[in-house]
Amino acid sequence: MRKVIYMNKRLLLAAAICMSFLGTACSSKISPNKSAEEFAGKNYEEVKQEILDAGFSKVVIKEVKDLDQSSKGKTGDVASVSIGGNSEFAKGDSFDKDSEVIITYRIPKDFHVKFNMTFKEDPSLTNYEVKVLKDNKLLETVKPGQDNVLQLSLPYGTTKLTFEKSDSMQTNGFLNIDVNDHMEAEIRLSCYPNHVDAELVLPEEPAALKDGEIQLDTALDQLMGTNYKDVKKRFENLGFKNVETKAIYNLASADDEKHDTVAEISIDGKTDLKDLTVFHADMPVVISYYAYQNEDPNHRVVDVVEDIADAYTVDNCPLLAEVLGIQDRRDPAVLEFAMKYDGDLIQFDGYIDTMTYHSSNGTIDMTLRSGSSHELFDLGAAFVVEGVNHQSFQTNMYPLKDGTNVTVMALVDGYDQRTGSILIKPASIYSR
């Protein structure tokens, strides 16, 4: 009898252990105490604590710069919360306790400001070098008799700039600047023996405009690098009737900060508009912005390993073999090849004839020729690559160099009538 009771106790203990494990497994699923919509607008520190109290451990905090004078809300307000990639969850929805929670909160939007730093012309003043500081950090040293321009990215709100005599921290002054938009103004300095005065001089109000005329409210260069959607709205609000946006599909990295930012603005076909101050509402505006290559509706992703069997080579394409060996790059065969195989994948051996790296946007232009760089005569058509990002194709070389013998796999991308060249988009360029 004792043995039976002892065995029953062992069974009960085993069952209790099993139930404990089952409870642990079940407890791996947890729920937030509010929905995503209910978290929005609350202080992000409070939301973070509520998320942690609910049992989540992987919490990431991010900022979004979107507050300006037209915004509702304040710094620190939650813009969005996502759990495991779900940003529309409801209260009580179940998630794994190790799901990543991303809390995004709002901070003031940055604006581009440009200050022309000048010294007040007064015989009673002795001008000297002045340091310009923000939050005790040196921004610029302004020197008398020179063109001094200070360009900053400042948040919406009030920013305090401090001015110090370069050889004396005790000789100083400050200026509070209200920032609510992109701006260009003058800061006029008056240098006294014991302090520095700074005056913000705003541009004069423009003359009255005629019907259909538009005065820009900021210099175009101040809009470069800002979100193209905001710029489009700005031009429409100014009264332009024909505002177009144009994507430049040259970004490869998925986290490139240039994504959706303005690369160029043209008004009535002109981009150099420094001397033009008045425009007409019917002038076309084109806002070009940076976009990812894979967002291009015509973008084809090439798998270098799997697609190599589909590539045209000298062995299966007589016309490619012909253009690789011609002596006149204006040979009609070049145009015929570019038109016939536009959008197709090709592979050939050649070398990098010329290469240009554009540090301003991180893109590369290059010309490739067939054969090898040590050969006495240049043969074959010129294959031209324009405005590609180094990360957009596979390579075993960094940096790329002129004169390197390479094997190229690329998509044919048309014909350049001006140079008689075949345009290509490289999928891979490997040294050989």
pLDDT value of residue 1: 45
pLDDT value of residue 258: 82
Tokens at 97, concatenated: 């306790």
Which residues of the chain are modeled with pLDDT < 50? Answer: 1-7, 11-26, 275
pLDDT, tens only, 107-162: 998 888 999 999 998 888 889 999 999 999 999 999 998 889 999 989 988 999 99
* Residue 408 neighbours by CB under 8 Å, 6+ apart: 346, 347, 348, 349, 350, 368, 383, 424, 426, 428, 429
pLDDT value of residue 214: 87
pLDDT value of residue 2: 45
Cα 83 from chain centroid (whole Å): 26
Entry field: residues in the chain: 432
The CATH number assigned to the domain with range 213-295 reads: 3.30.10.20
**Alpha carbons 92 and 90: distance in angstroms, whole number:** 6
pLDDT value of residue 28: 78
pLDDT value of residue 5: 43
Half-sphere exposure of 118 (CA within 13 A, CB side): 11
**Alpha carbons 140 and 188: distance in angstroms, whole number:** 15
- DSSP for 109-153, please give it: PEEEEEEEEEE---TT-----EEEEETTEEEEEE-TTS-EEEEEE
Cα 287 from chain centroid (whole Å): 15
For residue 399, say if its preceding peptide bond is cis, omega within 30 degrees of 0.
yes
Domain 110-201, CATH among 3.40.50, 1.10.287, 1.10.860, 2.60.40: 2.60.40
**Alpha carbons 296 and 126: distance in angstroms, whole number:** 59
pLDDT value of residue 318: 95
Q: Where are the domains of the chain?
A: 1-25, 31-107, 110-201, 213-295, 307-431
**Alpha carbons 263 and 224: distance in angstroms, whole number:** 6
**Alpha carbons 224 and 116: distance in angstroms, whole number:** 19
If you ran DSSP here, which 8-state letter would residue 206 be given? P
Q: Are 110-201 and 307-431 equal in CATH topology? A: no
Asked if residues 93 and 99 have their Cβ atoms less than 8 Å apart, the reply is no
Burial class from Cβ neighbours inside 10 Å (0-12, 13-18, 19+) for residue 70 reads exposed
The pTM of the full predicted model, rounded to 2 decimals, is: 0.47
What's the fold here for domain 307-431?
OB fold (Dihydrolipoamide Acetyltransferase, E2P) (2.40.50)
**Alpha carbons 183 and 389: distance in angstroms, whole number:** 33
pLDDT value of residue 3: 43
What's the fold here for domain 31-107?
Trypsin Inhibitor V; Chain A (3.30.10)
Cα 411 from chain centroid (whole Å): 26
